Every structure is written in structure tokens, then in C-alpha cells.
Amino acid sequence: MNTASAKKVRKAVFPVAGLGTRFLPATKVIPKEMLTVVDKPVIQYAVDEAIEAGIEHFVFVTGRGKGAIEDHFDLAYELEATLKARGKTAEFEMLKASRPAAGAASFVRQQEPLGLGHAVWCARDIVGDEPFALALPDMLIHGKRGCFAQMIDTYSKHGGNIIAAEEVPHEHVNRYGVLALTEDLGNQTHRITGMVEKPKIEDAPSNLIISGRYILQPEIFAKLETQKPGAGGEIQLTDAMIALLAEQDFFSYRFEGTTYDCGDKIGYLAANVAIALSRSDIEPKFRPVLEKLIRA
Ligand code: UTP
């Protein structure tokens, strides 16, 4: 791709239509993306990351029972008016800053949870003919600078499709999409030559995995349109990216930050502890409690 013609990334897609079976019974009524890490829903971390990267439009691919997500990103008129009337300015400003402006959020229903690839395809009409950021909100990435902001820098330089990557222990590669790389382009960026979804450990091309953040070109939608179900009987995004790899550049970017898989109980608990310890308003009181718990 000619980087000079790389179009600006204005939209971000958040697939939030999964069933969250690993978190039952909590997710019977509450969408798993609304479970809180310290005092913010998991989905808000991903949206804040997109806001930091300059994203202008937020597309949520939802399903039945996910109405709380729409409400969360709407204006809570009575609440905000009450906060204002009671002089709770900090809380009021925080709520205001954390929701997209009027008309800057779209919600589309996946109708059936047929897989991540299918969820992304459901956003095709809203995304249209432009590159877009894609976040799997379960993957909470914590660091000084948001992962999307870092990826947009890489995209401005190389164009094409960018995949956030990180290393995992080799014995865990069968749980993820795994990358094959060549050509070190500097600044933690490599050209991707292949990828495979949930490979057998012995077949994995590396221990570098796709970690839940992407910048993709709109041609991915045509690939998803005809994509047959893959691993787990689901329509896999990785399979459609493999098809697009024959026609377009893909680059991996090893971001700075730590990933917590909040779709998994251990990852979710770790995210709560790590973020609590990183917050100056919580850490001094929380650390002694945590230390006591660990000693017990
Ligand atoms: P997961 O496989 O982690 O989500 O999908 P899940 O199916 O909700 O989780 P479990 O395994 O039953 O606990 C990763 C992301 O893709 C979305 C999910 O909402 C999550 O953000 N997703 C997955 C969809 O939007 N639609 C799907 O059909 C599948």
C-alpha cells in the first residue's frame, strides 16, 4: 500500500455480542463488557483508549440483552442534572468525558453469535469504505499510552493493516491467533507473512499472538462475506485476514503495555488488582489489604 494515501482511521468497532459463558451466572443479565474493573466497565477502558487515539465514531456490535451498553454510552440526563445540582462537578465532568458525542456512536445487532468474524462483518455498512480500528474489549490493555494511539503511529508510517501482537509462553499458543513474521521494520514493527487461529502447539509458527487490537482496511468485509466457519465452528476473523494477506500488507506491532484477558476469571481478577495498584487514589489503602490477604 502507498502510505501517502493511507486514509485516516476515524471509526472504531467494538464487538460485544458474545455470550460470556465463562462468567455465568454474572453474565445472565449483565453483559460481560459491563463487568467493572475497579470502578469502570471493561468496555469503557477500550472506548477511552479509542478516544485517546483520536477516534471519532464508535460502532458497537451488540446482541440481545446488551442494552446496558447502549445506556452506558448515552446521556444519563437525570443523573447528570442531579450531580450538577449537588455541586458534584468532578463526577459530572467524568461522566461527560466518557461518552461519545450525540451521533458519534452506532449500535448494530449481530442477531446470532456466529463468531468474531461475523460480528465484525455486521459493522460493514456503518464503517463503509474506510480503514477502521477494531478492539476486542475483553482484552484490557494497560499502559502509559493507549495501544490504539501507538498503533495509529505505526499505521501513519506503513499504512496497510496493523495487528497488535504480544508474546505468550509457547504452551499457550493453541488458545490464540498466532503470527508468522519476517522483516524487522524497526520500532517493534514486523511484516506479517502468515497467521493461524488456535494452532496445535507443535504447528504454531511463533509464540507471537494477535492480542485484540487491529487496524483493518475495508476490503476485509468482502473476505468476511464469504468466509466459511473455521476453528470452533465460528466465522473467524483470522481466516478472513489470511485471505486478505494475499492482496494487502499486514504488519505486526509489539505494543507497550500489559494485557489482561477480562473474558477469563483469572485475567479479570488480575486486571482489578493491577489497576487498583496503579491508581494513586486507591493504592495506599489497597496494598496493605492485599498484602494481608496474601499472607493469610
Ligand atoms: P469471546 O469468544 O471471548 O467471547 O469473543 P464470548 O463468546 O462472549 O465468551 P465466552 O467464551 O462465552 O465466555 C471475543 C470478543 O468477540 C465478541 C465477544 O463479545 C468478545 O468481545 N464476539 C464473539 C461477538 O461479538 N460475537 C460473537 O459471535 C463472538
Domains in the chain, start-ordered, CATH in brackets? 7-164+209-229+239-295 (3.90.550.10)
Q: How many residues does the chain have?
A: 296
Determine the straight-line distance between the first and last CA of the chain, rounded to whole angstroms: 57
How many Å lie between the centroid of ligand 1 and the Cα of residue 224?
Answer: 17
User: pLDDT category, 181, cuts 50, 70, 90?
Assistant: confident
What average pLDDT does range 256-267 have in this prediction? 95
Is the CB–ligand 1 distance for residue 115 below 6 Å?
yes
How many Å lie between the centroid of ligand 1 and the Cα of residue 271?
Answer: 18
pLDDT per residue as tens digits for the range 127-176: 999 999 999 999 999 999 999 999 999 999 999 999 999 999 999 999 89
How many Å lie between the centroid of ligand 1 and the Cα of residue 296?
Answer: 36
Is the CB–ligand 1 distance for residue 31 below 6 Å?
no
Sign of CA dihedral 231, 232, 233, 236: negative
Residues 6+ apart with CB under 8 A from 186: none
**What is the residue type of 181?**
L
How many Å lie between the centroid of ligand 1 and the Cα of residue 115?
Answer: 7
Q: What does pTM read for this prediction?
A: 0.94
Is the CB–ligand 1 distance for residue 138 below 6 Å?
yes
Pocket probe mutation, ligand 1, options 19, 112, 210, 262, max atoms within 8 Å of Cβ = 19
More confident residue, 261 or 232: 261
Is the CB–ligand 1 distance for residue 261 below 6 Å?
no
What average pLDDT does range 25-53 have in this prediction? 95
What average pLDDT does range 191-213 have in this prediction? 94
User: pLDDT category, 4, cuts 50, 70, 90?
Assistant: very low
**Helix 77-85 vs helix 89-97: angle between axes, to the nearest 10 degrees?**
150
More confident residue, 200 or 4: 200
Is the CB–ligand 1 distance for residue 166 below 6 Å?
no
pLDDT of residue 194: 96
pLDDT of residue 2: 46
Q: What is the mean pLDDT of the chain?
A: 94
Sign of CA dihedral 32, 37, 38, 41: negative
pLDDT of residue 5: 59
